[in-house]
Amino acid sequence: MSSTTLLLLCSLGVVIPSLVCGEMFTALLHMEGLVELEEQLVQHLKSYIRKEEERLGELKKFLASAENAQSLPRNEPREHLYHPTNALAVIMRYHSGWDQKLSEYVYQDNSHDLMSAVALEKYRFPSKEDYSGAVTAIIRLQDAYKISPRNLTQSILGERQAIKVTTRICFEIGREAYYLENYWHTKEWMLECLRKMDEENDYEDVSLPEIYDFLAFSEYKVGNLRKAMQYTKDILQSDPTHERALRNLNFFSEQMKEDPEAFNRVVTEQTRNVYPETLGYEELCREAKPIPKENHHKMVCFYFTHKNNPRLILRPIKVEVAHLKPRIWIFKKFLSETEMARLRELAVPKLKRATARNWKTGEFEPADYRISKSGWLSEDDDESTDIVHRINNRIDDSTGLSMATAEDLQVVNYGIGGHYEPHYDFARKNEDAFSRLGWGNRISTLLIYMSNVTLGGATVFTESGGRIIPYNGDAVYWWNLKRSGEGDMRTRHAACPVLVGTKWVCNKWIHEAGQEFRRPCSLNKNQ
């Protein structure tokens, strides 16, 4: 696997000592060490090549001297040996050359240092799961942001220029998409291979028949039988004995007989087998819905002291109204740079693959629709107690809710194309409402952004059309439950895929228990 493929969209740079095998793609933090590791391996490889060149140089010098000596006595070898120094020279070549030099340089193994370094660091190498996960992430980014392979590999995205993406890399992405049974994207990436071969004369270790082979079956799977047959014929033109192409051509011919109209059918747009909500979610990720004019005057900013809380009188919370129904507030600059750096530092050793709640079992488990790593910080931990206590007090002051029945701070780092598909933070009626905690349902959510995201990574509310852009230090706050205790279905939300950059967030989920006098209940289920 090429590390270039895996690092296609990443801006990286720090070594991280501990990695979870097979989950590197789920957090950019744990991929950053790959860059410095590759720099070290490059130095080992350079050293190996230098030693090999020196070894081969010595062998070439001996070969030149042997060839030169051989050219002299070919006509009269015996007479040549009559001269004593000539005879000595032949003996010396055998003694110090064919014997000693070959023993020294042919059997010399310069690979030990290189292979030892590789073996020592191999536990940090991306796995097959990382490879598939990275390709899946690139495909997800294409779908979510409507980006073609050419734009993805050649464009400057958010002031980040992609490295030179070779035909081989495009081929590997297309092939992996094929194995994932994503035939539309297989077709797109194989066509990009053909374009690179034609326009850039880039034939790096990829043959046309290989590309045509993937294109033929992918075109067939998306419904373009004519193109499938043409690509198959292109294979046979260069290799008339290609067994699979011969079988496929017969198969396609039979398909055409069964359905003659299929030959002229042309499919020009991707048909995706996804929920309609997914398409709406991706549309929101690309562009916000306009705010109705009648609500413009309500989208305001103000200072908030929450019933004249003494701690907020001198330092009130800066609030921006981001959405009305449901009510979504943004607490501006809620955390300082120093606080965020400390939270990230404390969370790094604790980061594990983020889980999502299985609505059938009630258990939390890894899921393809949530790509990130998370770690929990508690007031009970000696190392984090001071900063977590300070932040909890600030959340208490800002929301007016007790932190006694709130979950620990969850710090999250998103990976390549990191996202979290549409979900509710609260448990619905048919689900187990966090019984293991004994605090009832999640009454509200505070989501703190701990990094700017160059492109992508917005938080979108799929039912109401709300869209929040991450800004470093800002916190987004909303009520998950109505005053009646009913879940507010308008709070269904998602984290859009990170297109360029890295995304750090911190979550705080506050539960019902202990809030009875802070947020009194209502008997009206609609309130």
| % pLDDT > 90, the chain | 54
> Could you give the angle at the alpha carbon of 480 between the alpha carbons of 476 and 484, nearest 5°?
140
Question: Is residue 444 classed as helix, strand or coil in its secondary structure?
Answer: strand
Q: What is the CATH number of domain 128-264?
A: 1.25.40.10
pLDDT tens digits, one per residue of 432-472: 778 889 999 999 999 999 999 999 999 999 999 999 999 99
The structure tokens listed for 180 are: 């994932």
More confident: 22 or 187: 187
- Amino acid occupying residue 128: K
The domain locations on the chain are: 34-122, 128-264, 279-511
More confident: 59 or 18: 59
Alpha carbon distance 427, 104 (integer Å): 72
Q: Does 295 have pLDDT greater than 50? A: yes
The structure tokens listed for 428 are: 């619905």
pLDDT at residue 386, rounded to an integer: 94
Q: Does 20 have pLDDT greater than 70? A: no
Alpha carbon distance 481, 477 (integer Å): 13
Q: Does 375 have pLDDT greater than 90? A: yes
279-511: what fold?
Jelly Rolls (2.60.120)
Query: For the whole model, what pTM was predicted?
Result: 0.81
Band of pLDDT at residue 178, cut at 50, 70 and 90: very high
pLDDT at residue 226, rounded to an integer: 92
pLDDT at residue 21, rounded to an integer: 45
**How are beta strands 504-511 and 409-414 bridged, if at all?**
antiparallel
pLDDT at residue 259, rounded to an integer: 87
Q: Does 310 have pLDDT greater than 80? A: yes
- Lowest mean per-residue pLDDT among 78-82, 164-168, 477-481: 78-82
Encode burial over 496-523: b for 16+ CB neighbours within 10 A, e otherwise: bbbbbbbbbbbbbbbbbebbeeebeeee
The structure tokens listed for 5 are: 């493929």
Does an H or E element contain 245, and which? helix 243-258
> Which residue matches tokens 């983020």?
354
Q: Is the dihedral of CA 101, 107, 111, 116 positive or negative?
A: negative
Contact 23, 134 (CB under 8 A): no
Across the range 332-350, mean pLDDT stands at 96
Give the single-character DSSP code of 497. P
Give the residue among 478, 480, 486 at the shortest CA–CA distance from 524: 486
Band of pLDDT at residue 19, cut at 50, 70 and 90: very low
pLDDT tens digits, one per residue of 260-283: 888 888 888 888 888 899 999 999
The structure tokens listed for 446 are: 């505070």
pLDDT at residue 364, rounded to an integer: 65
> Which residue matches tokens 């991450």?
470
Alpha carbon distance 108, 99 (integer Å): 13
pLDDT tens digits, one per residue of 205-214: 889 999 999 9
Question: Is residue 194 classed as helix, strand or coil in its secondary structure?
Answer: helix
- Lowest mean per-residue pLDDT among 66-75, 168-177, 239-248, 468-477: 66-75
pLDDT at residue 83, rounded to an integer: 62
